[in-house]
Structure 1
Amino acid sequence: MTGVQRFAEQIIRTLAAQREDLVFVAPRGFTPSEAGYPVEAIGRLRGHAWEQVDLPAYLHRRGSPLLLNLMSTAPVFYRNKVMTAHDITYVRHPESFSRAFRMFYGVAVPPALRRSRKILTVSEFSRKEISACFGLDSGAFAVVPNAVDGRFAPRASRSVDSADERPRYLLAVSSPNRHKNFENLIAAYLRSGLHPTVGLTLVGSTNRSFRDTCVTSAANLPGVSFAGRVSDEHLIRLYQGATAFVFPSLYEGFGIPVLEAQAAGAPVLAANRASLPEVLQDSAIFFDPLNVDEIAAHMVEIASSEQLRHQLREHGLANAARFSWQNSARIVSDLLDGLTSASRATA
């Protein structure tokens, strides 16, 4: 699941447990079978056509209630809404996205943001980026951080540093898009000389909207394995067993995988770019994601020092505990209450 999807899923589930006045809607045929909350299937279209045509028509027939959008787009001309904008990766790193994706977001997102009563974003970094890019007042935003759910936790008995435990591996989780920087990650691993003692496992897949970069070549490199998409259960096991988690991304609005890794007990090495210093603070080792030698040196350092791994695990668990879906959903809930109260006062 992508970070954007994870945010939407967790905020929805938590809000559904906190409130009884919400109506959840989806296109016909897309109703979750085990959502745990009621979902009303509406309209006849699919995708963005549903979002821009069927959804606002449905809302207008019901008196134009406040709409909460938790993905990255929203009905452009519907004004009584709260929209979510995670980042502007498609602006900063257009090489990672298809032309069609960039064109749609470039046309639809700016006016949708300007016609929103409030904009949710996931970090102070993203608030500043989006505000500056589109000329929006920083007060138009509410920062709602990502978090991890309780399934992401260390193993009950962890002994990954045992001398006879195999295999040992560094783990990376993301889509293999250009800005995720898998090329430098793989180059650094090969330069580190850790193979065959420590492997490199890459988890994630690419969307049709993105340009594939290094997946095919990675399959034939010594020590490098590409796992593709995995279930949450499998992902948690991979985090729990990793010698360390490495996140070389050039640009992130938040970076959920680093928090998942820390919550599951993995030491984290991360790029010193974008939102990652804000999210991780002093709980990780940072590196220049464009410096292959520096990444390789930190890989060797973390693989060689049990004491360092233990220290980073402890700091990582404490950092992950700073974030909570309950707290984030409460920020959204309070915002909804404030906006609906303001609407009643002016009616």
Structure 2
Amino acid sequence: MINKENISYARLIVNLSNVLFKSTGISNYTKNVFPYLKSIAPILLSSEVHAGFESYLIPDNLTSEQGTKGHLNRLIWTQFQLPKIYRKLKSKLLFSPIPEAPLFSNCFSVVMVHDFIPLRFPKRFSPLTPYHLYYVPQVLNQSKHIICNSQSTAEDIVRFCHIPSNKITPILLAYDSNHFRPVIDERFNTRFPYFLYIGRHDPYKNISRLISAFANVPSNLECQLWLAGPSDNRYTPRLKEQIQELGLTNQVKFLDYVPYDDLPKIISGAIALVFPSLWEGFGLPVIEAMACGTPVITSNLSSLPEVAGDAAILIDPYNVAEITDAMQAIANDAGLRSHLSQLGLQRATQFSWEKTGKATVEVLKSFL
């Protein structure tokens, strides 16, 4: 830990002001990548001390735990306090795991971009729309370099921000191979085979079409559809109405939030993960399901083909009949399920946080 009487200097500082260190997407990325930065001896800007690293303590009211106020506090802190810390520590480079950095300052930065979904699927009155429309492009234009999580996201950066592609390095994400693996748990060895969806209930996740597709799967197959993910008062009630209208109340289960420890068990018990999202920056559930040996049905759009390769059934997420056909094929054909399971297990071995972390270090070293 650094105090005013004992100031260390670092060529690299890592901005962890937004990180909650619990199981959220960006926090998951950050906590898995930053251990690999030890070789370049960064100082972590964080509200807590991290073993094995030197930390510069910053306020603890800059995260989503404080809601909109937390985000606003962080943006103000980033603009006015972070440049002072950068100069105080005599830094050469700032690395941020989100696309945030001081504007109109002498701070050299490398930032990480996860997706542009708020611009592809804008929500009325959402602060994320102007944030991605005005602030993020300025950050990316002023940054020395940009890391992103897929070639698809790299193309969105070029499209929405007009950044030259040679300023962008896509580095695919990974999964916890010690956690996500085939697991047998009697609680999920149910009488009825079930398809599984994991994620939020936002419209771009395409759950409404998934439900419509499931309604067309022949009833003699006696399948269920389990929806794992937190309820959302904006969207979940309409999904429940749709299920009732289609007479699927007994076949579709809302699991709400599933604890991290239970995810491999519930994934392993499914006959397939169905993930027909209209757009993803990466799509972690796909690779996590493959690592559990569970067949995958997913979209042929955005980053999902990059993640799935040839180890999944790719469908047009706007075509309900295609989703139905894929689900019916999985339910009918044990040989197909076994084949996809083996392909998925092999595919998952190509992804590791070590590979992601080391590739990130190589980018950062080139600017130090």
Q: TM-score range by the shorter chain?
A: 0.7 to 0.9
Describe how 1:209-220 pairs up with structure 2 within 5 A.
Answer: 212-215=234-237, 217-218=239-240
Partner SS for 1:270: strand
Describe the shift of the 1:225–1:35 C-alpha distance in structure 2 as closer, same or farther (beyond 3 A).
Answer: farther
Given candidates 22, 25, 29, the residue that maps to 1:3 is: 25
Compute the displacement of 1:52 (Å). 3.0
Check the 8 A contact 2:297/2:315 in 1, yes or no. Answer: yes
Describe how 1:123-134 pairs up with structure 2 within 5 A.
Answer: 123-134=150-161
Compute the displacement of 1:235 (Å). 1.2
For residues 62-113 of structure 1, give each alpha carbon's deviation from its aligned partner in whole angstroms, at most 9, with x where no partner exists: 2243111112433334541111112211111114x75222122222101000
Q: Distance in 1 between matches of 2:24 and 2:219?
A: 29
Q: Distance in 2 between matches of 1:214 and 1:160?
A: 25
Q: Distance in 1 between matches of 2:279 and 2:131?
A: 21
Q: Distance in 2 between matches of 1:13 and 1:206?
A: 33
Aligned pair 1:22/2:47, yes or no? no
Describe how 1:287-306 pairs up with structure 2 within 5 A.
Answer: 287-306=315-334
- Which runs of 5 or more residues in structure 2 are unaligned? 1-22, 63-70
Partner SS for 2:216: helix
Compute the displacement of 1:257 (Å). 1.0
Stretch of structure 1 that moved more, 261-270 or 79-88: 79-88
Given candidates 104, 108, 116, the residue that maps to 1:88 is: 116
Q: Distance in 2 between matches of 1:115 and 1:255?
A: 28
Quote the residue 1:344 is aligned against.
none
Q: Distance in 2 between matches of 1:36 and 1:262?
A: 33
Q: Distance in 1 between matches of 2:142 and 2:320?
A: 43
Partner SS for 1:151: coil
Aligned pair 1:173/2:198, yes or no? yes
Quote the residue 1:184 is aligned against.
209
For residues 229-286 of structure 1, give each alpha carbon's deviation from its aligned partner in whole angstroms, at most 9, with x where no partner exists: 2222111111111110001101112111100110111100011111111221211001
Q: Distance in 2 between matches of 1:279 and 1:294?
A: 20
Quote the residue 1:63 is aligned against.
90
Quote the residue 1:150 is aligned against.
177
Describe the shift of the 1:54–1:206 C-alpha distance in structure 2 as closer, same or farther (beyond 3 A).
Answer: farther
Check the 8 A contact 2:223/2:251 in 1, yes or no. Answer: yes
Check the 8 A contact 1:155/1:240 in 2, yes or no. Answer: yes
Describe the shift of the 1:94–1:156 C-alpha distance in structure 2 as closer, same or farther (beyond 3 A).
Answer: closer
Amino acid at match of 2:318: L
Quote the residue 1:343 is aligned against.
none
Compute the displacement of 1:165 (Å). 5.1
Check the 8 A contact 1:169/1:199 in 2, yes or no. Answer: yes
Quote the residue 2:15 is aligned against.
none
Given candidates 166, 186, 191, the residue that maps to 1:139 is: 166
Q: Distance in 2 between matches of 1:332 and 1:277?
A: 22
Partner SS for 2:274: strand
For residues 93-139 of structure 1, give each alpha carbon's deviation from its aligned partner in whole angstroms, at most 9, with x where no partner exists: 114x7522212222210100011111001111211221122111111
Compute the displacement of 1:195 (Å). 8.3
Q: Distance in 1 between matches of 2:161 and 2:53?
A: 35
Describe the shift of the 1:20–1:167 C-alpha distance in structure 2 as closer, same or farther (beyond 3 A).
Answer: farther
Q: Distance in 2 between matches of 1:243 and 1:93?
A: 30
Partner SS for 1:12: helix
Q: Distance in 1 between matches of 2:101 and 2:353?
A: 22
Compute the displacement of 1:300 (Å). 1.4
Describe the shift of the 1:185–1:337 C-alpha distance in structure 2 as closer, same or farther (beyond 3 A).
Answer: same
Check the 8 A contact 1:194/1:300 in 2, yes or no. Answer: no
TM-score under structure 2 length normalisation: 0.81
Partner SS for 2:367: helix
Quote the residue 2:359 is aligned against.
331
Check the 8 A contact 1:201/1:225 in 2, yes or no. Answer: yes
Partner SS for 1:99: coil
Given candidates 57, 66, 73, the residue that maps to 1:41 is: 57
Amino acid at match of 1:141: I
What stretches of structure 1 move > 4 A for 4+ residues in a row? 34-39, 156-161
TM-score under structure 1 length normalisation: 0.85
Compute the displacement of 1:326 (Å). 0.5
- Which runs of 5 or more residues in structure 1 are unaligned? 341-347
Q: Distance in 1 between matches of 2:283 and 2:200?
A: 12
Aligned pair 1:200/2:216, yes or no? no
- Structure 1 vs Structure 2 CA RMSD: 2.8
Check the 8 A contact 1:178/1:213 in 2, yes or no. Answer: yes
Over the matched positions of the two proteins, sequence identity in percent amounts to: 29
Aligned pair 1:105/2:125, yes or no? no
